Structure 1
Amino acid sequence: MTKTDYNIIALMSGTSLDGIDIIYINFKYKDCWEFKIINSETINYSLRWKTTLSKLVSMKMNQLKTLDIKYSEFLSAVISNFIEKNNLEEIDFIASHGHTALHQPEKKLTYQIGNHQILADKLGRKVICDFRVQDVEFGGQGAPLVPIGDRLLFNAYEFCLNLGGFANVSFELNSERIAFDICPVNIVLNNYMSKINLEYDDKGKLASKGNINKDLLFKLNQLPFYIENPPKSLGLEWVELNIFPLIDAFNLEIQDVLRTFVEHVAIQISIVLNKEKSKVLVTGGGVYNDFLMERIDYHSISEVIIPENDIIEYKEALIFGLLGVLKERNEVNCLKSVTGANCNHSSGKILMPKNQL
C-alpha cells in the first residue's frame, strides 16, 4: 500500500542569496495533497559564503566540484542544527534543492552544489535532491520546477507569481501548466544596494525616491528575452551579460537605477498577468518591497493576493519538499509543458547514506 503521510525536511537556497530556507513539513494525501509547515527558519549566509556564492559563474568546473563538497558539508551542519533545535524525530527523508552554480540548459548544463553524497553520509539519512539535471538531459530547461506544486497545492489561484532573485509565474492554459521566468528582480536590486553597503532596499524606500530614466527603461524592455516564447528561464550569467552592462552604461545614481528597474519589473510582470482579470498569489522576498508591489498593482488589472508569511517566505522550499515526495512515490514531478523536456518525468536523485546501503 502506498504511503500517504510524510514528515520531511526541505531546504532551498535562491539566487538572491537571502540565505537557506529550511522547513519541517507534513504532507498528507486524501484525494488531493494537503500540507502543514511545522517548523521554519531562514539561515543567513556569512559574508564569506555570500561572497563565494556570488562568484560561482566565474569558477572552473574543478573549483565547483571542490566547493560542492564544502557546501554539502555546510548544509549537513545546518540541517543537523535544525533537527536538534526543533527536537525532530519523525523524518522520512530530506529534500534539498542545493544552490544553482551553473544553469546553461542550451548547452545541456546545469549544476547545483550541495547535493553531494557526503550530505547523506554526514546526516545518516535519505536525501532526495538534484531535481534539475534529469530534465536538462531530457531536453528541458531544468526550470522552473515549482509549477507542479502550484498545480497540486495552490490551484485556487489563476496565477502563481514568485518574486525572488527572478520573477517567475505559472498558470494553466488549455489544460497544461505553463510557467517561465519573467525577468530578474532581487538579483539586480540587491546588487546595486550592495554598492552602498546595504543588503537590500528596505520596503523599496530608496527606489521610491528615484527618477525613471526613460531611455534605460526603454532599452531594458526591448531585451530579446521578453518576446521569446516559453519555455524559457534566466540565470545569473544572463544578468551579467545583458542587464548589468546596460544599466552601468548610463552611470546613474543608485536610487535612479532602482526606480527605473522597479518600473521595468512591474511592466514585464503586468504584460504576463494582464491576459485576463484573475487572482494572483504572490510570494517570495520581493513581496516585502512595498514600492515594487505598489507598482505591480498599478500596472496590473488582476487581484494581487499576498498570503501568510510562511507561504511568502517558504513556498519554494515547501514545493521542493513536494517534489521529493513525488520522486519517492515515483510520480511525475516535472512537467514537459513547463520545461520543454520531451516527456513528463519523475526527477531527482536519491542518496542513501553509505552505512545503510
Structure 2
Amino acid sequence: MAINTYHVIGLMSGTSLDGLDISFTRYEIIDDVWSFSLLESQSLPYTSQLKKSLQDSMHLTAFELIRFHNEYGTWLGKQVLQFIKTHKLEVDFIASHGHTVFHQPDKGVTYQIGSGQHLANASNYKVICDFRTNDVLHGGQGAPLVPIGDQLLFGAYDYCLNLGGFSNISYTAQQKRIAYDISPVNMMLNYLSSKIDMEYDHNGVVSQSGKIIPTLAKELDALPYYYQSPPKSLGKEWFTEIIIPLLEQYQAPVPDLLHTATLHIATQISNDIKRTCTKGKTSTLFITGGGAKNSFLINSLREKIKNIATVIIPEETIIDFKEAILFGFMGVLKERNEVNCLQSVTGASRDSSSGVIFFPA
C-alpha cells in the first residue's frame, strides 16, 4: 500500500538573513489532491556572529567555505534535534533548503551551505537537501523552486507572491506553471534601514514618512533585469553589484531612500500583474514572506493594482513559514521520486525530481 501521509520538518534560511525557519508539517494526498497542516513552527533569529558569518561567506577561501558548510550543517542538525525534543515529534525526515552563498546559474553555479551529511548526523534523521544543483545542471535557473508547492498546495489563488529577500511570483498560464524573481525587497529595505541602525523598517513606518526621489526611482525602474523575459532569477551577487552602487550614489535622507525603494518594489510587482492578468477578471494575489507585514508596501501595491487583483494576506504562521512548508513538500516529492522542479519555471531542459538524500551514519 502506497504511503500517502508524511510528517516532515522543513528548514529555510533566506537571503534577508532574518534567521532559521523550522516547520513541522503533515502532508497528505487523497485522490491525487494534496493538503497540508502546519503542526509546529519556530523561527530562530541568528546571533550577530552567525549572521555576519553567513553574510561574509561568499568571500571565504575554498577551504574556509567547506569548513563553514560542515559547521553550519551540524548547527542546523542541533537546532532541529532540540525542536523535535521540545515538541516530542515523530518525524519521517528533514528537508533543508540550506543558505545560498552563490547563485549564478548563467555560469552553471548555485551553492547552498549546510552539509546534509552533517545535518543528518547531528539530528540522527534522514535529510533531503540540495534542491537547486540538479536543475542548474540541466540548464535551469535553479529558482524559484516553490512553484510546485504553490501549484499543488495553494492552487486556489491566481498568483502566489513571496516577499522575502527578493520578490518572486508564481501563476499558471496556458496550463503551465510560470514563476520568477521580480525585484529585491527585504534585502534592499534592510540594507537601507541599517544606515539608521535599524534591522528593518517595522510596518514600513520610516518608509512612509519619506518622499520619493524621482531620479532614483527612474534609474531603478530602468534596470535591464526588469525587461528580461522569464525564466529569470536574482541572487545576492546581483544586489551587491547592481543595486548597492546605485543606492550609494544618492546622499539623500534614509526615509526618502526607503520610500523610493518601497514604491519601486510595488511598481515592479504591479507591472508584472498588469502584464499577465486575465482582462476583465479580478485576480487573487496571495502574499507571504516578511514583506507581507510591511503595511506601507502592501498598501502601495494595493493602490497600484486596485480593480485588477485582490490582495490576500493569510494568517501570520503561513506568512512566516510558507517557504519552509514548501521545501518540506519538495522533500516529500523527492521521497516519492516525483517532479519537484518544473522546466516551465526554471528553463531547464526537462522537469526533474531534485534533491540529495543523506542518512545518519
| Same fold at TM > 0.5 | yes
Alignment of 1:224-239 (within 5 A): 224-239=224-239
Letter of the structure 2 residue corresponding to residue 74 of structure 1? W
Equivalences, count: 353
Secondary structure of 1:171's match?
strand
- Select which of 278, 283, 292 maps to 1:287: 292
C-alpha distance in 2 between matches for 1:310 and 1:204: 20
Letter of the structure 1 residue corresponding to residue 256 of structure 2? D
User: Unpaired runs of 5+ in structure 2?
Assistant: none
Q: Which stretch of structure 1 is more off in the superposition, 165-174 or 248-257?
A: 248-257
Secondary structure of 1:141's match?
coil
Please state how far the C-alpha of 1:341 moved relative to its aligned partner: 0.7
Alignment of 1:50-61 (within 5 A): 50-61=51-62
Partner of 1:41: 42
Please list the CA deviations of residues 97-137 of structure 1 after superposition, one character each: whole Å capped at 9, or x if unmatched: 11101111111111100133111112211101110010111
**Match status 1:253 vs 2:253:** yes
Partner of 1:351: 358
C-alpha distance in 2 between matches for 1:39 and 1:269: 31
Quote the sequence identity (%): 48
Partner of 2:84: 83
Alignment of 1:1-357 (within 5 A): 1-31=1-31, 32-88=33-89, 90-274=90-274, 275-276=276-277, 277-300=282-305, 301-354=308-361
Secondary structure of 2:348's match?
coil
**Contact preservation (8 Å) 1:57, 1:236:** no
Letter of the structure 2 residue corresponding to residue 254 of structure 1? V
Letter of the structure 2 residue corresponding to residue 337 of structure 1? S
C-alpha distance in 2 between matches for 1:42 and 1:123: 18
Please state how far the C-alpha of 1:198 moved relative to its aligned partner: 1.2
C-alpha distance in 2 between matches for 1:344 and 1:284: 26
Secondary structure of 1:50's match?
helix
Letter of the structure 2 residue corresponding to residue 141 of structure 1? Q
**Contact preservation (8 Å) 1:68, 1:116:** no
**Contact preservation (8 Å) 2:27, 2:34:** yes
**Contact preservation (8 Å) 1:96, 1:115:** no
C-alpha distance in 1 between matches for 2:64 and 2:285: 41
C-alpha distance in 1 between matches for 2:99 and 2:2: 31
C-alpha distance in 1 between matches for 2:64 and 2:230: 33
**Contact preservation (8 Å) 1:12, 1:98:** yes
C-alpha distance in 2 between matches for 1:105 and 1:98: 17
C-alpha distance in 1 between matches for 2:249 and 2:57: 24
Letter of the structure 2 residue corresponding to residue 189 of structure 1? L
Letter of the structure 1 residue corresponding to residue 293 of structure 2? Y
**Contact preservation (8 Å) 1:332, 1:346:** yes
Q: Which stretch of structure 1 is more off in the superposition, 274-283 or 78-87?
A: 274-283
Please list the CA deviations of residues 272-291 of structure 1 after superposition, one character each: whole Å capped at 9, or x if unmatched: 11233310100000011100
Please list the CA deviations of residues 308-340 of structure 1 after superposition, one character each: whole Å capped at 9, or x if unmatched: 112111110000011000000000000000001
Q: Which stretch of structure 1 is more off in the superposition, 103-112 or 116-125?
A: 116-125
Please state how far the C-alpha of 1:303 moved relative to its aligned partner: 0.4
Please state how far the C-alpha of 1:53 moved relative to its aligned partner: 1.2
Please state how far the C-alpha of 1:246 moved relative to its aligned partner: 0.5
